[in-house]
Amino acid sequence: MAASLPEFPTSVKNFQRYLQIKTVQPTPDYATCGQFLRDMADELGLPHQVYEMAPGKPIVVMTWEGKDPTLPSIGLNSHTDVVPVYEEFWSEDPFAANIVQDDAGEHRIIARGTQDMKIVGMCYLEAIRELRNRGVKQLLRTVHVIFVPDEEIGGADGMQAFTQHDSFKKLNLGLMLDEGLATPDNLYKVYYGEKAPWWARFTAEGNTGHGSKFIPNTAGPKLANVINALLQFRGQEEKRLIAGKDEATGKLIREGDVTTVNLTMLSGGKQHNVVPHALEACFDIRVSPFVDYEKFSAWLAELAHRNDVTLDYELKYTKPNVTFLENNPWWAAMQRVGKRLDIPHDADILTGATDSRWVRCLGIPCLGVSPMRNHPILLHDHDEYVTVNCYLEGIHYYEHLIEELANVG
């Protein structure tokens, strides 16, 4: 028989309620989510605004005004949507937010969106509640808690559109916090930049004919050359990362220094014995922000050209997406909090793309952190979970971090 569970604090119940709202792509329930967030704002006594860049896709902004509202504000951003599930591979209903005790005695909250990234959104709010309960009436800078839709599908109707809107400019953000990743290590990862997503499609065309013949100039060998070259490049980059050091210069190589390449889709052909007119290969390429984008783009174009293959991009991000940490007062404030709470902070580049890119390209600093240490990385995976203790630590962390950041003079 399962051991009976203890009574959890209201903050945990609020997290469960948020997780139970099916904001799952491709048909997220944003109406229920918007209502839930508005209710939370009312409960916390935070004035709030709801913006819609597209009908039925609410952006909720809650505002805690600072003593000096003319100073650039602190944005606490999170997305409300979550990715789809393969329900048959889950040990619990992914939208029940059940709590299950593991072998180490930890209570796991299992649900889609626990790590990515409803934990972060709820921690922001519960941290503000704690600060207020502690008698903190106002911080120096204004704090905006921002909840956006559609991050998981690129943010076109969410953060991307919002950044073009006057109400975004009026937030006057000096810093925006956004998501990071869990880590199995005993530290928090802080992401100061991201790789650039390039979704490349190579299409080869050639002669057709009977599948039993040696037909010259067919699509297959052309596309195979391109695939081989890219997979070879992939291997080299992987090797550099594993070695951890540049052979020539001795410089350390970290995740952010390498470019990843994955063959993600292959298509074409009609029948086994008909040589196809066209074949197509799609790659998800994540370009290191320290790479010369023009040079790399030229290399890909030349690779395609040399093999008589056409190249087009479903997505090709080339804008700046790094927040430099040298002499960065926000990063210094985060590190102070890390020291105080005895949680090491490790700066890195994120492999995935978040809504931060729409904000960094405006010149606004963004730092990504998700307060999950000693946890496997389960975003977009089956049985995504965080422990109750991790969530409670996250609240405590933001309680300190929000105060520290919003009081930066």
Q: Looking at the annotation, which residues are catalytic?
A: 81, 151
117: contact with ligand FME by CB under 6 A: no
Residue ranges of the binding site for Zn(2+): 79, 116, 152, 179, 380
Phi, psi for residue 239 in degrees, rounded to 5: -65, -40
- Residue recorded with tokens 């009574």: 7
Alpha helices (runs of H) in 254-366, residue ranges in sequence order: 293-306, 329-341, 356-360
178: contact with Zn ion by CB under 5 A: no
CA dist., res. 53 & res. 156, Å (int)? 9
Counting residues that bind Zn ion (by CB under 5 A) gives: 3
Residue ranges of the binding site: 79, 116, 152, 179, 380
Residue 197 near which of Zn ion, ligand FME, none (CB within 5-8 Å, type-dependent): ligand FME
Task: For residue 214, give Cα distances in angstroms to 62, 168, 254, 296.
Answer: 67, 61, 46, 35
Q: How far is the CB of 348 from ligand FME (least distance, A)?
A: 15
Among 9, 72, 154, 220, binds ligand FME (CB under 6 A): 154
The token pair that represents 78 in the structure block: 């999170």
3-state helix, strand, coil in the chain (%, to 5): 35, 25, 40
Q: How far is the CB of 350 from ligand FME (least distance, A)?
A: 8
CA dist., res. 44 & res. 64, Å (int)? 10
Distance of CA 364 to the CA centre of its chain: 17
DSSP lists the bridge partners of residue 206 as none
- Residue recorded with tokens 């105080």: 340
260: contact with ligand FME by CB under 6 A: no
Q: Closer to ligand FME at the Cβ: 152 or 404?
A: 152
DSSP lists the bridge partners of residue 286 as 197, 260
21: contact with ligand FME by CB under 6 A: no
9: contact with ligand FME by CB under 6 A: no
Among 352, 361, 377, 396, binds ligand FME (CB under 6 A): 352
Among 28, 34, 121, 197, binds ligand FME (CB under 6 A): 197
E strand or H helix that includes residue 109: strand 107-110
Q: How far is the CB of 284 from ligand FME (least distance, A)?
A: 7
Q: How far is the CB of 199 from ligand FME (least distance, A)?
A: 8
Among 37, 353, 378, 386, binds ligand FME (CB under 6 A): 353
Angle at 92 between CA 90 and CA 94, to 5 degrees: 75
Tell me the chain's radius of gyration from C-alpha atoms.
Answer: 24
Residues 103-122, mask of contacts with Zn ion (x by CB under 5 A): -------------xx-----
- Asked whether 181 and 379 are in contact (CB, 8 A), the reply is yes
Q: How far is the CB of 177 from ligand FME (least distance, A)?
A: 17
Q: Binders of ligand FME among 278-317, rule CB under 6 A?
A: 315
Candidates 2-10, 176-184, 272-280, 292-300: pick the segment binding Zn ion (CB under 5 A): 176-184
Counting residues that bind ligand FME (by CB under 6 A) gives: 6
Residue 353 near which of Zn ion, ligand FME, none (CB within 5-8 Å, type-dependent): ligand FME
Q: At what angle do helices 10-20 and 119-133 cross, to 10 degrees?
A: 150
Q: How far is the CB of 353 from ligand FME (least distance, A)?
A: 4
Alpha helices (runs of H) in 203-292, residue ranges in sequence order: 219-243
Contacting residues toward Zn ion, per CB under 5 A: 116-117, 179
Contacting residues toward ligand FME, per CB under 6 A: 152, 154, 197, 315, 352-353
